[in-house]
Each structure stands twice: as structure tokens, then as C-alpha cells.
Amino acid sequence: MIQVLDSHAVFIYLEKEPGYEKVSDIFSRSAETGKNLFMTAVNWGEIYYITKREKGEAIAEDVMKILDSFPIEVVDVDKHLAKQAGRYKAEKKMSYADCFAAALAKMKKAELITGDKEFKEVEGEIKVLWL
């Protein structure tokens, strides 16, 4: 099964919050099988800006280096992805960044990994692995 990460899942892992073990297992399994996880560039940037705002630039840079070592393929945003994210934003009560994660999961027919309750808005359209 193809899996897409929301930034929330990454923060659960980085901050060792409840659900950490599940995310750790997902990363390990992905590395062992050679099957990358996916994340949009928007969600990758979200991790950077939140970390920088809360902990400073040096820690944000360190976090991005750690993230780059994980089996995650960062997907650039094209018009098709942006349009699907725009559809979600127009119709659902979700942050714009979350709309990109949901759009990528929909386009790849993938499972979205998150603990963010905003994704209940699209749970009928995409498969969600709740943390």
C-alpha cells in the first residue's frame, strides 16, 4: 500500500508523542522494503516553518537534515495536485496544507498517515491511518 505522510505524523515522531512507535515502525518498514513514503513539498515546508517558528532556524535546519535521511519522497506541486487541494479547500474545513496531503493521497490512491482530526473531513474519500 502506498502511504502519504501529513506533517502531523512527522511531528508525532520527532516529538515522541503518543503514536510515535507506530510512525517509527512505518519508517522502519519503508526503509526495509525500499518503498518510499510520500509527502508534498507544501507539507515538507510546513514542518520547516513550524519548527523554525517554535525552536529557531538552527534546529529547523537540523530537523530537515534528519527528514532528508528518512525514506520519504517529497512530491512537487503541479497544477493537478494544486487543483485537487483547491477543491478540498473550497469544500472542506481544512487547512490549505492539509488539503495538499489529502489531495496527494487521493491522487496516488494511498493511505494517509496522520493524527490530525481535520482529516475526518475527507475520510470518506481517502483511506486514513489514524495515529
Structural domain of 31: 3-130
CB 5 within 8 A of CB 104: no
pTM of the full structure? 0.94
CATH number at residue 106: 3.40.50.1010
**pLDDT tens column, 41-66:** 999 999 999 999 999 999 999 999 99
Kindly state the cell numbers that stand for 15: 516529538
Q: Which helix (H) or strand (E) holds 112?
A: strand 111-114
Q: What is the C-alpha separation between 81 and 28, in angstroms, rounded? A: 28
Residues of the chain with pLDDT under 70: none
Question: Domain tally for the chain?
Answer: 1
| Whole-number pLDDT of residue 14 | 95
